[in-house]
A and B are shown apart, each in its own frame.
Chain A
């Protein structure tokens, strides 16, 4: 055997003999991902997922099934000279992501549809299609790093702390991670935009997507009301001490820890302190409010824990840091894995505003060890 080194994707062959599928959303990140791999000489195949009816989402039925993003992705693929396909994942995206989004809200929880999307249509279905096309890897434009460790590939935070997307990839399994590549993980966003300019991509100046893609106007409540007629019910806003302070139009308008926009006319607690949403009670349609101290929680209960960290004994508590919201910094804690995907996280310091339905993602340094869905919290 001749001595062949590994190519940049980790395969012992020339880039042109390595087929890699790039999940192209039409945004600047995945476009640059495709262009970088193409420039290195890989056999790049671009795939864009048609996830929802763009015309319906923007309340203009009858517009073409393809939104601007699909058009942009195709333009980029043409520009860099790679084959490009659009896959119709509308029905599975609807079932796996949009339905779950509505149900989660109605349970009084705050969903993260991007995680569901990565977990199902992207890293399960698209990944399987990539294998079917004879690809060795699926590359995405996520800002995370795949680092080869002693025990196989590890998932690390993106090098640019402002861009790190590891929180949204907590459900990535070892098997998926083995097949995935994240060429942008080491770059700052500014460099991605500069690369887009250099490659002459029309999407170089395209703004980052802010909203949840299938709710472009930001009105989650309208969508949930449409999907679950009668599911969004008004109810009472109740103080922890039992006083009814007002009415609300549906618990889906609230999230745990919220202070502004409670619609109770600036009412304060007994000591004049501001009131926060402490809990959402789906069964009785009540929004429970109280002072900030009442939000403090140290124990977080988690389900569907996806663990890709080192093996842990059943009762072993591992010192880690955890992120409980995408935009919050990680906090010191200890994690203990239970059975059937359950896990328990004990925070060193109480945390205020932990919302069931959000993710609890576990880190050691930059390495993401896993994560799961928050089902509940306890004060101690």
Chain B
């Protein structure tokens, strides 16, 4: 639980952005004093380059790759754009539940449907690949940002490779939460983001397998092996490295799966008409996507916020307004249910007290707004 000037609040929106870990803050504070440009020849420049290279190794370890494969970007969105737009001439196939940064970067892409639990249909992918001509690029996320559902990326990659496709995996919500190994997944490209791990916002990476040639989006310098021009975001990258290291070494952290399961069990016991989205699929342990039919998700988010609990609904645009979830709609949920879901996402500093606080606020809200619940 965090204490702010406004009183105690519980932050349960780690999939939007996870609070900065203390170890990351320390590493970034030190990096603020570094002098120079990593591209410079002099000793100062070399010292900065060392810090960036160390962070690159830390991020590489998180993804099970070599440091040379890590290309730093200004976040997961840029990494996804770079992946989807970096292979001119390939037809694009993406899952229906991808993040907006994939869908918008590939507006003409074919969409792989998902089942009721939100898991991509591998047979449908096979058919899409067989039906088209020319080399393809397939993009399927590791963990869905709204439901936490884990996608069968290794199977997707096996099918895609059999058709000669390049495979991209948006692992932004998976890194640090489920095992991650590029080679084991069999993908060519992996997107990562620092602030979902307790690192700073504005820093991410695209892992590009050696031998995979990608066209840069940003030109004007030789940084990142000519694949992403511009002086590196040194402090952000150092923070990213520290966050990656901390995420790998989370044995001392809370058992998020146990907390999440407890949350869902108690929520459904108190409000039997509520539903957990994607409950039938393997899921990352830190996400509960709860639908309260009859109550708009945005109303729930506001009511919970006023009660001191931060969660989210759907995907918010920069104005803070909420659109219906394309993920839940792709899962075949009616607009009523898709519009009535909230996402509760846990992270490195979540405690049992946060879960209690959420449940107290959420059940009180449900009793107030759903007449049939009040009677229970």
Contacts and interface: CB of A to CB of B under 8 A. Distances in A.
Contact of B368 (A70, A86, A134): A134
A220 interface: no
Interface in A34-73: 45, 50, 64-66, 70
B305 A65 contact: no
A129 interface: yes
Nearest to B301: A85
Interface string B274-304: 0000000000000000000001001100110
A132 B369 contact: yes
Contacts of A86: 319-321
Give the interface centre of B302, B305, B319 by most chain A CB atoms within 10 Å: B319
A83 interface: yes
B308 to A, nearest CB: 11
Contacts of B271: none
A88 B323 contact: yes
Contact of A88 (B302, B321, B368, B369): B321
A interface secondary structure, majority:
mixed
- Interface range, A side: 10 to 19
A132 B299 contact: yes
B375 interface: no
A85 B321 CA distance: 8
A64 B318 contact: yes
Contacts of B306: 19, 45, 83, 133-134
A213 interface: no
Contacts of B317: 64-66
Nearest to A81: B6
Contacts of B67: none
B126 to A, nearest CB: 36
A65 B302 contact: no
B180 interface: no
Interface in B308-352: 317-323
Nearest to B305: A83
Contacts of A83: 302, 305-306
B321 A133 contact: no
A87 interface: yes
A88 B339 CA distance: 12
B323 A66 contact: no
Contacts of B295: 132
Give the interface centre of B299, B317, B320, B323 by most chain A CB atoms within 10 Å: B320
Nearest to A90: B321
A50 B318 CA distance: 13
B302 A133 contact: yes
A87 B320 CA distance: 8
B296 to A, nearest CB: 8
B299 A133 contact: yes
Give the interface centre of A45, A64, A70, A85 by most chain B CB atoms within 10 Å: A85
A83 B319 CA distance: 14
Give the interface centre of A74, A83, A87 by most chain B CB atoms within 10 Å: A87
A87 B321 contact: yes
B368 to A, nearest CB: 7
Contacts of B369: 132
Interface in A173-221: none
Given A132-B295, A132-B369, A134-B368, A85 B320 contact: yes
A86 B306 CA distance: 14
B319 A85 contact: no
Contacts of A66: 317-319, 321
Interface in B109-136: none
Interface string A85-117: 111100000000000000000000000000000
A171 B369 CA distance: 27
Contacts of B322: 88
B319 A70 contact: yes
B368 A50 contact: no
B298 to A, nearest CB: 6
A283 to B, nearest CB: 38
Give the interface centre of B295, B321, B369 by most chain A CB atoms within 10 Å: B321
21 contacts: A19-B306, A45-B302, A45-B306, A50-B319, A65-B321, A66-B317, A66-B318, A70-B319, A74-B320, A83-B302, A83-B305, A83-B306, A86-B320, A86-B321, A88-B298, A88-B323, A132-B369, A133-B299, A133-B302, A134-B303, A134-B368
In order of increasing CB-CB distance, the 9 nearest A-B pairs are: A66-B319, A88-B321, A86-B321, A86-B320, A132-B299, A50-B321, A85-B302, A86-B319, A133-B303
Given A50-B319, A83-B306, 4 more contacts: A66-B317, A66-B319, A86-B320, A133-B303
